[in-house]
Amino acid sequence: MADWERDTRADYESKGFAVSSGFGKKPALLVVDFIVGFTDPSTPLGGDFSAQLDVTAQLQTAFRKSGLPIVYTTVEYKEDLSDGGVFVKKVPSLGILRKGSPNCAVDDRIKPLPGELVISKNYASSFFGTDLDSYLRGQNVDTLVITGATTSGCVRASAVDSLQYAYYTIVVRDAVGDRAEGPHEASLFDIDAKYGDVVSGDDVLNYLRGLAESGFSGAAREEFETWWNEGRKAPA
What letter represents residue 50's amino acid?
S
Rg (CA), the chain: 18
What letter represents residue 86's amino acid?
V
Catalytic residue, chosen from 59, 146, 154, 172, is 154
What letter represents residue 19's amino acid?
V
What phi and psi values does residue 77 have, to the nearest 5 degrees?
-125, 160
Alpha-carbon span 81 to 89, nearest angstrom: 10
Give the three-state DSSP class for 169.
Answer: strand
Instruction: Give yes or no for a contact between 200 and 55, defined as CB atoms under 8 angstroms apart.
Output: no
Alpha-carbon span 191 to 171, nearest angstrom: 8
Q: Is 104 a catalytic residue?
A: no
Alpha-carbon span 50 to 45, nearest angstrom: 15
Which residues make beta-bridge pairs with 168? Answer: 143
Catalytic (active-site) positions: 154
